[in-house]
Amino acid sequence: MRSFILVGLWSLGLFSAHAQESQLIQSLSDQGFENLASVAKGKDLYITYENNLYRFEAKGLANILMNLSEFDLDAYERIHFLLRSQDIPMAIVSVSLEDLSAFKNGIIDRFALATKMQFSIEIDKIEDYFKAAERMNSSFYKIDIPIGLRFDYLLGDFNDGFQSRTYVNSRVLSTLGRGTEFEFDFLNIVQNDIPGRAISSPVTMKITQSARFGQNTFLSASLGYLPQGRFGMYTRFRNYLDKERFYLELMYGVTRNGYLDENWAIQNNRNSDAFWQAVFNYRWNKYDTDINLAYGTFYAADLGYKFQIQRQFNEVYFSLFYARTDVKSSGSFGSVEPAIIGFSLTVPFGQSKFIKPGRIRARTEDQFYLLYRYSGFSSSGIDILYGNDIFSDIREFYPEVLRKGLMKHLKP
């Protein structure tokens, strides 16, 4: 009789734990998190999700952690979150429920909790747990319409010292499958006093397939009408070494110059170019700083190198760069400079939390980007733009970025 009672109590506890797990997943789905699934392994609960609700990954994770106390999860000791982007697994975050309870009760602060948590981009074994799991709230075939601003400028002469052009940038993004994304960008000029051709027109229309393989290896391939007036394809291969501390990236592309005019007709579709580039990056985790060296061909098919140091402050990025290629740079008053120096600044733009993803959703752009190049009108050393792909926000999934983001956004 005692054995029957023990089995009954065990079965009841198992049923209750499963019910709480299901309610948690349903709650996350109701909030707007996508590609959800859960798997229990003994005293460990594994949850996978994709955040298209909050602009910053760490803020989305902080929101989930702060709401876990609403559910009875005493059957588990640890919860592991597998974070996704375009349904591709990106990072794993683990938290002890004992530590989380201590944080909620004021025994430890958010800094201590984030320090105790475990973060990693090593996800190969964890992803296998979800192969047979039932998914909830798919992100596929939904349409996002981010709307933002773009600003171009020139520092002129003494008669006209500053010239500018302002655009409203409207994009259409849709994930069609794991790592498969359609992107369409349209620039509408709202102010312009820069001489030269400038029309409101489409600037990007492409399909991108991204994938993740074993050993922290990523691949992305884009085909179609690419940024900067190119028709063709780009492929990018990146392998992370020593977790996220180093990566090697190889790029190859074949394109033809051209653009879509205001009537969406193809113009100037000629002059084929092949592009290649090798990039080595070191991540100084203590200061969230990337030290980056790229060698190969740039936007104007010029051959050379670019050295860049970029510091990340959660959602803000500031970089300094030095570039030198076989196309000389035009300096001040007609001088010819052997190299290019400059800086760039990327800051968060618009909402920090978007409305719940639906079949069609309009929202603000994630970021505003400003570039300064001390180069006159030279095309030397201009970066190739790829549009949206798996690498666009990959740094938000870096372990130390997530940890420091939680230190900022966690609240009891």
- List domains and CATH numbers for the chain: 2-138 (3.30.300), 143-399 (2.40.160)
pTM given for the model: 0.90
Q: Provide mean pLDDT across the span 367-374.
A: 88
Predicted confidence (pLDDT) per residue in 316-344, tens digit: 999 999 999 987 665 555 556 678 899 99
Distance CA 194, CA 164 (A): 6
Q: For residue range 283-329, list pLDDT tens digits in order.
A: 999 999 999 999 999 998 899 999 999 999 999 999 999 999 987 66
φ and ψ at residue 122, rounded to 5 degrees: -85, 100
Provide the pLDDT confidence category of residue 3 given band limits of 50, 70 and 90.
low
pLDDT of 14 higher than 70: no
Tokens 């205001």 locate to 262
Name the pLDDT band for 244 (thresholds 50, 70, 90).
Answer: very high
Chain-wide mean pLDDT for the chain? 89
59: confidence class by pLDDT, cuts 50, 70, 90: very high
CA nearest 404: which of 54, 92, 83, 113? 113
H-only helix segments in 32-116? 57-67, 97-104, 110-116
pLDDT, average across residues 209-215: 95
> How much of the chain exceeds pLDDT 70, in percent?
91
CA dihedral (155, 156, 161, 164) positive or negative? negative
Q: Which helix (H) or strand (E) holds 402?
A: helix 399-409
Q: Which residues fall within 8 angstroms of residue 102, CB to CB, at 6 or more apart? A: 108, 113
